[in-house]
Amino acid sequence: MKELVSMREELLVLKKELTDELKEINESIKKLEGKILTTIQQFGADRVVVDDKRYEVFDDVVFNATDWDEFYNYIFENKAAFLLQKRLSTKALDELLELDELPPGVEPVMLTKLRVVKV
């Protein structure tokens, strides 16, 4: 058992190191992409080809809810639940379960997991 736990701890250390390194790499990539985008725009172009890759500048529309209460009212009044992602809030449903008020179509599922606590 001690060997298994030791192997797990070594892998956790390696995972943290790799996660930190990946975070730095992703930040560097994002900065470089910003510089590439700016450079392309400075040339007055919307695309460039370098070696075998084409880099394009494009606009993409994303949405941000500026007033969640108003947005939720719209969803309920217009039966527009399709505007939301289908993900359940575990914390909110835990509270409803404690009150024995789970909404229809929802059931708790027990998952067996391993918890490790530093002692």
Which uninterrupted H or E stretch holds 50? Answer: strand 47-50
CB atoms within 10 A of CB 98: 9
8 contact partners, CB below 8 Å, separation of at least 6? 116
Claim to verify: residue 70 and residue 25 sit in the same structural domain: no
Enclosing domain of residue 32: 2-55
Claim to verify: residue 51 and residue 67 sit in the same structural domain: no
Which uninterrupted H or E stretch holds 47? Answer: strand 47-50
Q: Give the phi and the psi of residue 76 in degrees, each rounded to 5.
A: -70, -45
Whether residue 48 is contained in a domain is answered as: yes
pLDDT digits (tens, 9 = 90+) for 71-117: 999 999 999 998 998 888 899 999 999 999 989 899 999 888 867 66
Claim to verify: residue 74 and residue 92 sit in the same structural domain: yes
pTM of the predicted model as reported, rounded to 2 decimal places: 0.64
Can you give the C-alpha Rg of the chain in angstroms? 24
pLDDT of residue 47: 87
